[in-house]
Copies of this chain bind each other. A is one copy, B any other.
């Protein structure tokens, strides 16, 4: 169960309305790596975790915090939309400031949500659950979480560059901060699990199942051999084996050939093309 407290972790109050920035801020609310994504990703991971109590609690602590971050950004967006001008742009073109606002704001903020935040990204595409990851394998999922917090903090840093409003910057600063914690915590949890399981996910599909001569080779499928200079092309691999480099990938199997289709498919008959 969840309980709601009518406070925020940050005031989420801009110096002044700015409907254009409201549109951009939607990216970290309802985009691929917005707060809805991390909240939902952590909730499903937490609910599906079978045992593993301290990890499950860590996930639920963070999931619950993230619902509050959705609330915080939604509040900021509503305030950025206060009294947004909505009149016809061709008229407004006589006043360049008004006009630039009308041309750039998300029209759904005026037509659909009545000056409220929406569960969409910065171009207005609705959030969808195809963004999230919850596999039941903790090491795999903590890597997903580290990825999400890395992409998320990167987007917050970019938005920070795009405004001079001190209220917005203060909230973005708060988000940068918490994403630092969240990157740190998932890194720490990953290190714990890697120390026990090794670095290859899943650890339970062991090397014996693999084709040994191919498991540490970098194949040169793109012209140029710059990639052979990296730490991934020679020396010890993270899992302890030796990296190899193959300048000319191969051997390969024979040509891909398929059997003819049966008549009931109404595919092109063999005879037609002979």
Contacting B at CB under 8 A, from A19-69, are 20-21, 23-24, 27, 30-32, 36, 40, 43-44, 46-58, 60-65, 67-68
**Nearest Cβ on chain B to A144's Cβ, whole angstroms:** 5
Q: Tally chain A residues at the interface, Cβ within 8 Å.
A: 198
Known contacts A31-B112, A89-B104, A114-B265; decide if A119 and B199 are in contact (CB<8 Å): no
Question: Which residues of B have CB within 8 Å of A201?
Answer: 150-151, 153-154, 183
Name which residue of chain B comes closest to A138, CB basis.
B268
Question: Which residues of B have CB within 8 Å of A178?
Answer: 214-215
Name which residue of chain B comes closest to A256, CB basis.
B75
Bound state CA distance, A11 and B108, in angstroms? Answer: 26
Most chain-B Cβ atoms within 10 A of its Cβ — which of A128, A135, A216, A257?
A135
Name which residue of chain B comes closest to A18, CB basis.
B90
Contacting B at CB under 8 A, from A253-274, are 253-270, 272-273
Most chain-B Cβ atoms within 10 A of its Cβ — which of A36, A119, A261?
A261
Bound state CA distance, A256 and B7, in angstroms? Answer: 6
Contacting B at CB under 8 A, from A100-135, are 100-104, 106-108, 110-135
**Nearest Cβ on chain B to A115's Cβ, whole angstroms:** 6
Question: Which residues of B have CB within 8 Å of A230?
Answer: 54-55, 58, 188-189, 192
**Nearest Cβ on chain B to A218's Cβ, whole angstroms:** 6
Bound state CA distance, A227 and B165, in angstroms? Answer: 35
24 contacts between A and B (CB under 8 A): A1-B65, A1-B71, A5-B222, A6-B223, A20-B88, A44-B74, A48-B116, A48-B258, A52-B268, A52-B273, A56-B226, A61-B220, A89-B100, A125-B126, A125-B130, A126-B129, A128-B130, A133-B147, A180-B210, A184-B216, A184-B241, A185-B218, A187-B199, A188-B232
Beyond A55-B230, A120-B123, A185-B243, list 11 extra A-B contacts (CB 8 Å).
A2-B5, A4-B221, A6-B223, A47-B71, A55-B273, A60-B221, A65-B221, A65-B249, A86-B162, A107-B122, A136-B267
